[in-house]
A = this chain, B = another copy of it.
């Protein structure tokens, strides 16, 4: 992705600064627990217009954060995770829209989560932090909208787990968004998806440094487990073809060494990804985010009927999938589309022929970006009326 990082300063939102919103009212969670109070870290790009109609909420997926676009003054290399999508002249054009990125509760990038202090004990939450769900995140985000004085978003948008939030928004707060942009999504996880998550969790939980999640207090971290978890996750983000193209069977030293050292380039790549991730990400957050994925299933409370679960939806829906995504295949996106069509809800669906697998939603694919740009052109037309 190095090429995507080369920036045209005129198309960047430039230097950004995270902000913190504090919420004093308790947040009731699906698991039955409630957070007495909480903080959300967020960033904004662009300017909120006078009638507050041009706000777009961008929801993050597994390992990302509120840092969606731009860079920090003291860390210019730390570019936002969706910087290719958001900025002046980009598909989500910050000359027109006021864009908000927010770190979800349970996260490890500043919002209240396992690394925060539990106000009831005065100690780091660690393994005691409750299980959070997509719906909990959406509820917390709705309060952030209140805090920012935004009654209705022009759009809520996300890819993968972020798309699940966009989908949940459309059903849970139908009046509070004009459009929902649901990219590389699924209406719930398949058994195989859950299985991969469970492998990741078991790798973390059985790491002797995990200590029931209370590793911080002991000054340790289950890095070995987190590393394996990231490696297995990473395999599911790339298509088989993309891995073949990028790495194939290339040997690191040109010929087999018959040792347990890194032999193939793909091993080297995965180990690198695993190490990098284990150094910056919190294991308790990773566990909770995989559980949020597992639990997401809007149809469950409606006898498995997704159309019923989405009956409240009035937003314009854009659903996008990628042909080589085997984690959340186009077939899964079509389940969402069919449910919306059954409800006669306004839905646009695009299946993008892209080689990159699930990760395609993060990449600068011309057809994909043109599609999103065109959709936002339409959204802009509506709010400018």
Seen from chain A, the residues whose Cβ lies within 8 Å of a Cβ on chain B are 30-32, 130-131, 133, 188-192, 194-196, 198-199, 201-203, 205-208, 224, 227-228, 231-232, 234-235, 238, 240, 243-244, 246-249, 256, 258-260, 263-264, 266-267, 270-271, 274, 287, 291, 294-295, 297
Contacts and interface: CB of A to CB of B under 8 A. Distances in A.
A227 B208 contact: no
A113 to B, nearest CB: 16
A232 B229 CA distance: 10
A194 B224 contact: no
A247 B189 CA distance: 12
14 contacts: A131-B260, A191-B240, A191-B243, A191-B244, A191-B249, A191-B264, A194-B266, A195-B235, A195-B243, A198-B266, A199-B270, A205-B260, A206-B227, A232-B232
B131 A232 contact: no
Given A199-B228, A208-B208, A266-B198, A191 B246 contact: yes
Contacts of A294: 263-264
A346 to B, nearest CB: 29
A31 B258 contact: yes
B192 A235 contact: yes
Contacts of A232: 196, 199, 232
Contact of A260 (B133, B259, B264, B287): B287
Contacts of A271: 198, 202
Given A199-B232, A199-B270, 9 more contacts: A131-B259, A190-B244, A192-B238, A194-B267, A195-B235, A206-B224, A206-B228, A207-B224, A228-B228
Most buried by B among A235, A247, A258, A274: A258
A238 B191 CA distance: 11
Contacts of A130: 258
A260 to B, nearest CB: 7
A270 B195 contact: yes
B231 A202 contact: yes
Nearest to A248: B191
A188 B249 CA distance: 9
Contacts of A235: 192, 195-196, 199
Given A244-B191, A267-B194, A270-B195, A227 B202 contact: yes
A234 B202 CA distance: 14
A342 to B, nearest CB: 21
A274 B203 CA distance: 12
A40 B195 CA distance: 36
Given A203-B203, A228-B202, A266 B195 contact: yes
Contacts of A267: 194-195, 198
